[in-house]
Amino acid sequence: MSMIQPSNTMSDNDRLVPCCSTSNPIPSSSITDSIPSCSKTTQISNSNTSSLNEGCSNPGPSNEDEELALPRASINKMIKDALPNIRVANDVREMIMNCCTEFIHLVASEANQVCMAQQKKTINAEHLLTALDHLGFGDYRAQAEEVGKDCQSKRRRQSTRLENLGIPEEELLRQQQELFAKAREEQMAQEQQQWQELQAAAQRAAIKPKTEESSDEDDYS
């Protein structure tokens, strides 16, 4: 393949190099621009390596992931109720917990989509039941409705218990706040007393060496 010699008026960046697929030469400047520099490539590879090292050095779950996960006590109780006579390994328990957490995230996300489609601002029980149907978990609908009814009945019993006491909810809240304030005052007073006792003990400890030094001086005189 023949090469076209550059003229004297062309710069080094505008020199032409042969192309393997076509007979038309391509400016070397375009090829140079299309290839990333070694420093940039090295920087990218180093950043990727550092990120991988960070991931390997801290393989445990973050606090945010732990907050979004189900309580381990609930998972252990569920496993014990389902398999009372079988010992379940820790990695299997971890897998079950991850599956339950993923299921809740999936249903919650779908319920949010249903709520937004209906232009509502609050996700209610009906949105959750619809999400179960959309995701193919319609078999869980009856159990979910039963749990929802139990929660409503518990709320009614709690409200009825407050009404039977004859004390309004606002008054109960005020009394609770007063108890909290009183407990804080008692704690502050106790801490203040302890601090004063520590200061007095420190002063006594500082005065005692001076008294011993003065007694030693009297003996030598």
Which tens digit of pLDDT belongs to each residue from 9-62? 444 444 444 444 444 444 444 444 444 444 444 443 444 444 444 444 444 445
Strand partners, 16: 27
pTM of the model: 0.43
Query: Which pair of tokens denotes residue 24?
Result: 């038309």
> What 3-state DSSP class applies to 32?
helix
Query: Which pair of tokens denotes residue 210?
Result: 């001076």
Neighbouring C-beta atoms of residue 174, cutoff 10 Å: 11
- Choosing among 3.40.640.10, 3.90.1420.10, 3.40.50.2300, 1.10.20.10, the CATH entry for 62-140 is 1.10.20.10
* pLDDT score of 205: 82
Q: Where are the domains of the chain?
A: 62-140, 168-201
Q: Is it the case that residue 111 has pLDDT exceeding 90?
A: yes
**Angle ∠(41,20,33) on CA atoms, nearest 5:** 30
Which tens digit of pLDDT belongs to each residue from 77-91? 999 999 999 999 999
Query: Which pair of tokens denotes residue 166?
Result: 């004859």
